[in-house]
Amino acid sequence: MSAIPKEIINWNILNEIVSMDEDDPEFSKGLIIQFMEQAQTTFDKMQNILHTTRDLGELDSLGHFLKGSSAALGLQRIAWVCERIQNLGRKHESSFPSSEVVRASLFGNDTEPSSAASVESGNVSQLDDSVYLQLIGEALQEARNEFQLANLELSKYYGSPL
Amino acid sequence: MNLSNDTDISRPSTSASANLGIVNNTNHNNGNNSNIKAPSNDFVRKLFGILERCEYPDIVRWTEKGESFVVLDTGKFTTQILPNHFKHSNFASFVRQLNKYDFHKVKKSPEERQHSQYGELSWEFRHPYFTIHNEEALDNIKRKTTVQKKIMLDDSTVLLKPNSGSQPGMEENTGANLILGNAVTKDKFNLLKRRVDRLQKDLDSAKEESYNAKLEFQKLNSKYNTVVESLFTFKTVNDNLMHNFNTLCSVLNNRGIDLPPHIYEDPNLKQHPNTQQQAQAQAQAAAAAATQTTTSTSHSTAGMSPLQNKAFDPLNNAVNAMVPGPVQLPAPLSTNSAAAAAAELQLPMPNMSHGPTVTTDKGDKLPETYDSFVLREGFHVLLVEDDAVCIQLCSKFLRKYGCTVEVVTDGLAAISTLEKFRYDLVLMDIVMPNLDGATATSIVRSFDIHTPIIAMTGNIEDQDLITYLQHGMNDILAKPFTKDDLHSMLIRYLRDRVPLIKQQEQRAHAANNPHHHHSTADNGTGTGTAGGSSGGGVNHRNNDGNNGNSIGPHSVDRNGYASSEADSQPELLTRSHSHSQLQSSLDDTANTTTTNPSGIPTQAMHPTSGQTQSSGRNAPLSTTASGHSASAVPDQEGKMLMDDEPLLKKQRV
């Protein structure tokens, strides 16, 4: 599991997009608003799957999907959580750090992504689907949190609530 | 068995509550007789005893003949006899019990009834073996259970049919009694119910599975058809090219140019032992050279030795080696003959007024890195991507670099679009609905081997990368990528190319001005396309080719930078046999259909339509030359793709 990015936004990436506003005002803002809607929809879809079909493959691809667009906009912490969801969905990982660890990483604390909400990695293959679903549920909550943080930050940047 | 759940459920509940008394009685009478073959008939014997002793002559007694008995007063029978002797709670159930022992009510017409000596309301019953004073005959009276049980189990609807000999009024009750007598236990019922549920579930999932399999099959089938169709088209084009090539060769022969006969007589010339050995030797030299030269992606090419230049592209050299004839031609002769041959074939020829030195100069001016290279405007890019945000971002970047962008959102759409139209470059996401990018590419490669296809993906583990390349993708652009990352990629694959749309314009122009030969559309396509077709590494070769110009007579710069510059090729014939030219010629053939005389370029470029074949005969010189190389390309290309791996961009994981 890669380390959690400390910064909510990778400005190297976002600035490049913002620079496109030159000949197309509001381009970056429009893109971000579109992402916001897309993210909300995807989160709701995930939530729905967790409550109904509990289909890990479906969660994997939704995670992958949102990872792509969030990373493209430089929203790297959301992208990081989405990657966790993707990997949990395909059972490549079997743990997700506790909410405290995720929070702490935001303030630059170098806490290793411990496996607070994890299971012994020895018998990964025998783990029940419900374990992964449980972890994805936690990750989804974190993703929503990160989404709120990013929204705040971006609203501040654009000087208007998004 | 038509035992639906509903009937199963209703059976025990209704009959049990209504006929509880009977159950007990039945059980009592059958108490010690689980063996059906010797049924007890205590019930009958009890009745016989009452009749014999004539205990209640006013209520029940033998008839006069003694062959039947009669119940004179059913009310008294119910209140006085039943409670004392039987466990039946009412007369009807007593009658049912009689029926079970095959007693039958003696039917009477209303008139007979009126004149009956026993009164209108009397009930007369008879049984062949139930006669006065004949106790032994009672042994023959048996419960007729077995048969009915079978019917019950076989078909519950039987209950609705009249039982033989029973009274119309009694039928329902009899039925209910039968039901009760044969009702399954609750456990057994639940067991069956569970089993039915499970079977139902199995059936549903099997149905779903077969539906999915059907869908999958249809998908595969359509893919297969696409592939077969493309292969067929490709083969036709190929045959056509081969034919034209042979025509060209014979024309050249007639003009006195000495061609080795195997070039056009042996379609498998690429397997010529000498050329193979040569190619191998050169490949080894390439490896040696590579160790001395830096192989980084900043393609500094100036000052490379001719050997290195050649060595970087064993395939190119191999193809060159196959056609020693033209290479050895003295330049003046070549120029003249080429012009003559071209005139014969009504080809637009490059302007001959410039000397070959022009290109050499140009080659030396090559920028040394990609980044300083300015991309031409007007490249037509197909973006295959399912995420709206990425689509907007990527197409924005592309337009910033002067490209025109078309977007499709899944692999299947990408295939069908690439079948119909041509693009300078394809950017392809991997994870998409319907069909993933890698599989789509492998199908596209069955009919289009030269359009560069770049994977855009976040999955960049080594295994993934190898998979993408094996599917025929040229390179990988790791997500998320910056503007610069994208630019480098565009430069790598498009720097030497003239946008398709420009090529068309040029060709259209050439068609309108056949005598001026200003346009060199077929030249322009030249190496650029070849570079794109075989991955990043091939660009080295193109570069090197430029530098080699100044030395080797046959290493002419063909990068088709600008049409004017390519004009000056006196050795068109020479180069037309090189690998790159051969490949590019495929483009030309493909494009011929859209090169309309009116000179209006269309965006819809039909690569392998039926029209192509008819126009192929008038195709440019290079077109005909490609006939024998087309089949040789894919093999080699596969290897080269793998060799290119160090070039992969692994940015920001």
Q: Same domain for B69 and B130?
A: yes
Residue from the list A12, A17, A64 with its beta carbon closest to the beta carbon of B431:
A64
- What stretches in chain B show pLDDT beneath 50? 1-38, 147-169, 266-279, 281, 283, 286-371, 516-653
Structure-token pair, residue B23: 């159950």
Q: Same domain for B350 and B233?
A: yes
- Name beta bridge partners: B62: B69
Please judge whether B479 and A72 are an interchain contact, meaning their C-beta atoms are less than 8 angstroms apart.
yes
Chain B: nearest CA to A37, how far in angstroms? Answer: 11
Distance CA B346, CA B275 (A): 32
CATH number of the domain encompassing residue A51: 1.20.120.160
Domain membership of residue B192 (yes or no) is no
Angle at B22 between CA B18 and CA B24, to 5 degrees: 115
Instruction: Say what the pLDDT of residue B25 is.
Output: 43
Domain membership of residue B531 (yes or no) is yes
Burial of B199 (0-12, 13-18, 19+ CB in 10 A): exposed
| Average pLDDT of every residue of chain B | 64
H-assigned helices in A11-96: 11-18, 27-51, 56-72, 76-89
End-to-end CA distance of chain B: 63
Residue from the list B388, B429, B480 with its beta carbon closest to the beta carbon of A38:
B388
Q: Same domain for B14 and B155?
A: yes
Complex ipTM value: 0.87
Q: Does A73 touch chain B (CB under 8 A)?
A: yes
Domain membership of residue A149 (yes or no) is yes
Amino acid type, A134: Q
Domain membership of residue A13 (yes or no) is no
Instruction: Say what the pLDDT of residue A46 is.
Output: 95
Instruction: Say what the pLDDT of residue B97 is.
Output: 86
Find which of A65, A76, A77 to mutate to test the B interface (most B CBs within 10 Å of its CB).
A65
Q: Which among B494, B515, B550 is the end of a domain?
A: B494
Instruction: Say what the pLDDT of residue B312 is.
Output: 40
Domain membership of residue B213 (yes or no) is no
Only one residue has tokens 């430089």, namely A74
In Å, the largest CA–CA distance within chain A is: 55
Interval B543-593: pLDDT, tens? 333 333 333 333 333 333 333 333 333 333 333 333 333 344 334 433 333
Interval B271-299: pLDDT, tens? 444 444 444 545 455 444 444 443 333 34
Domain membership of residue B489 (yes or no) is yes
Interval A10-41: pLDDT, tens? 998 899 999 989 888 889 999 999 999 999 99
The number of distinct structural domains making up chain A is: 1
- Chain B residues whose beta carbon lies within 8 Å of the beta carbon of residue A79: 480
The percent of residues above 90 in pLDDT, for chain A, comes to: 59
- Chain A residues whose beta carbon lies within 8 Å of the beta carbon of residue B464: none
Domain membership of residue A15 (yes or no) is no
Domain membership of residue B67 (yes or no) is yes
Domain membership of residue A10 (yes or no) is no
Q: Same domain for B30 and B170?
A: yes
Residue from the list A13, A31, A67 with its beta carbon closest to the beta carbon of B458:
A67
DSSP line for B194-247: HHHHHHHHHHHHHHHHHHHHHHHHHHHHHHHHHHHHHHHHHHHHHHHHHHHHHH
Find which of B392, B427, B429 to mutate to test the A interface (most A CBs within 10 Å of its CB).
B392
Structure-token pair, residue B416: 């069908």
Instruction: Say what the pLDDT of residue B333 is.
Output: 40
Q: Which domain holds residue A63?
A: 28-158
Domain membership of residue A101 (yes or no) is yes
3-state secondary structure of B408: strand
Distance CA B591, CA B583 (A): 13
Taking alpha carbons only, the member of B16, B298, B378, B353 closest to residue B179 is B16
Instruction: Say what the pLDDT of residue B500 is.
Output: 84
Q: Same domain for B167 and B59?
A: yes
Domain membership of residue A71 (yes or no) is yes
Q: Does A41 touch chain B (CB under 8 A)?
A: no
Taking alpha carbons only, the member of A45, A54, A52 closest to residue A134 is A54
Please judge whether A17 and B393 are an interchain contact, meaning their C-beta atoms are less than 8 angstroms apart.
yes
Q: Which domain holds residue B485?
A: 380-494
CA distances from B608 to A126, A146, B420, B448, B632 (A): 52, 50, 8, 9, 19
Q: Same domain for B617 and B582?
A: yes
Domain membership of residue B573 (yes or no) is yes
Find which of B385, B387, B389 to mutate to test the A interface (most A CBs within 10 Å of its CB).
B389
Q: Same domain for B359 and B506?
A: yes
Taking alpha carbons only, the member of B401, B403, B404 closest to residue B370 is B401
Domain membership of residue A89 (yes or no) is yes
Domain membership of residue A7 (yes or no) is no
Residue from the list A13, A20, A31 with its beta carbon closest to the beta carbon of B389:
A31
- Those residues with Cβ within 8 angstroms of residue B413's Cβ, 6 or more apart along the chain or in another chain: B384, B434
- Name beta bridge partners: B384: B408, B428
Q: Same domain for B482 and B509?
A: no
H-assigned helices in B495-606: 500-512, 521-533, 536-548, 563-566, 572-576, 579-591
Cβ contact B410:B433 at 8 Å: yes
CATH number of the domain encompassing residue B485: 3.40.50.2300
Structure-token pair, residue B148: 């009915």
Q: Which among B131, B161, B184 is the end of a domain?
A: B184
CA distances from A68 to A65, A101, B26, B311, B479 (A): 5, 24, 77, 40, 7
Half-sphere exposure of residue B522: CA atoms within 13 angstroms, side-chain side: 30
Instruction: Say what the pLDDT of residue B318 is.
Output: 40
Do β-strands B475-478 and B453-457 pair in parallel, antiparallel, or remain unpaired? parallel
Q: State the pTM of this model.
A: 0.42
